[in-house]
């Protein structure tokens, strides 16, 4: 078991150690008789890129589903910027600035880019983000601006997402998170099934998020994707966190050994 010092045991921020964006304490999750998460303590700090790795069934997606409000834990506590939260819906998580991107479910393929950017945040219910009510034209304009921020130059905000490549779709999802000033971006296998070039683009997006001070949690089976962009690597196995290491203290080889 490899452990780094938990910087975050005290509830208040101590000198020089900012409160983590997200802190989980003792998370447990059962699916019937499957114990998918076992007493997991983990923290994500502001502006960090955290690589979350582990073999199939290790509990990675379960952890992030809990953090995105999709699943409820059976035990444990979640703190966002030091405040205890109860994430009952994905909307609860989004309102707290936690955005999750899945390879396939992040987008509604038949809807336009603009609609996808504003999905779940339809104009009448705007409470966060830099704008109040938006009309369609404004929505289109804002969408293109959001895409330009991630250096994605697509033809038109009315293009259906189904016509975009996998990498472009990830770009749209990331642009959305940036536009709504998300604090934490969770990416579950965002480079799955992407070409080399598209993978590089997604990795560049994540680097861009760090430059903006946004925390990213990046899940991938491919250590060669995770390692270069991560500041810290969290390793899970059989529902437990088995390592939590600054990148400088580990190597791809050491991580592969831990995972296997
Ligand atoms: N909805 C579900 N119902 C029942 N069991 C589930 C469910 N979701 C996950 N599990 C089980 O919980 C355990 C953890 O699964 P999880 O999806 O979190 O793993 P993972 O680390 O994301 O794996 P992968 O790398 O394959 O995506 C596995 O044993 C899995 O079979
Ligand atoms: Mg998974």
The mean pLDDT value for 227-255 works out to 97
CATH of the domain at 204: 3.40.50.300
What separation in Å is there between the alpha carbon of 61 and the centre of ligand 2?
4
Domain assignment present for residue 12? The answer is: no
Residue 214 lies in a domain: yes
Give tens-digit pLDDT for 58-89: 999 999 999 999 999 999 999 999 999 999 98
Specify whether the CB–CB gap between 201 and 171 falls below 8 A.
yes
Q: Is 235 in the pocket of ligand 1 (CB under 6 A)?
A: no
**Residue from 28, 37, 60, 236 to probe ligand 1 pocket by mutation (most atoms less than 8 Å from CB):** 60
Is 57 part of a structural domain of the chain? yes
* Total count of domains within the chain: 1
Q: Which of 238, 202, 196 is nearest to 219 (CA)?
A: 202
Q: Does a structural domain hold residue 83?
A: yes
Domain that holds residue 203: 22-259
CA atoms within 13 A on the CB side of 221: 7
Look at residue 13 and tell me whether its pLDDT is greater than 90: no
Predicted model pTM: 0.84
Identify whether 11 is part of a domain: no
Residue 196 lies inside a defined structural domain of this protein: yes
pLDDT value at residue 134: 55
Q: Which of 65, 17, 71, 69 is nearest to 43 (CA)?
A: 17
Mean pLDDT, rounded, of the chain: 84
- Judge residue 113's burial from the number of C-beta atoms within 10 Å of its C-beta, 0-12 exposed, 13-18 middle, 19 or more buried: buried
């Amino acid at each position: 078991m490899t452990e780094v010092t938990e910087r975050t045991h005290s509830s208040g921020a101590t000198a020089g150690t900012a409160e983590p964006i997200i802190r989980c304490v003792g998370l447990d999750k059962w699916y019937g008789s499957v114990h998918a998460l076992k007493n997991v303590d983990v923290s994500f700090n502001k502006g960090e890129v955290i690589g979350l790795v582990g073999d199939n069934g290790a509990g990675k997606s379960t952890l992030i589903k809990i953090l995105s409000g999709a699943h409820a834990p059976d035990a444990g506590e979640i703190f966002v910027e030091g405040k205890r939260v109860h994430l009952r819906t994905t909307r609860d998580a989004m309102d707290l600035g936690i955005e999750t991107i899945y390879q396939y479910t992040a987008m509604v393929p038949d809807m336009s880019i603009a609609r996808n950017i504003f999905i779940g945040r339809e104009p009448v219910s705007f409470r966060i983000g830099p704008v109040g009510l938006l009309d369609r034209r404004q929505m289109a304009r804002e969408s293109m601006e959001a895409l330009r921020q991630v250096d994605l130059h697509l033809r038109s905000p009315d293009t259906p997402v189904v016509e975009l490549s996998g990498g472009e779709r990830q770009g749209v999802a990331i642009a959305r998170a940036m536009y709504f000033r998300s604090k934490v971006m969770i990416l579950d296998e965002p480079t799955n099934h992407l070409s080399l070039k598209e993978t590089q683009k997604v990795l560049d997006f994540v680097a861009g998020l760090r430059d903006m001070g946004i925390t990213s949690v990046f899940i991938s089976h491919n250590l060669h994707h995770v390692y270069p962009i991560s500041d810290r690597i969290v390793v899970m196995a059989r529902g437990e966190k088995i390592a939590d290491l600054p990148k400088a203290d580990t190597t791809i080889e050491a991580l592969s050994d831990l995972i296997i």
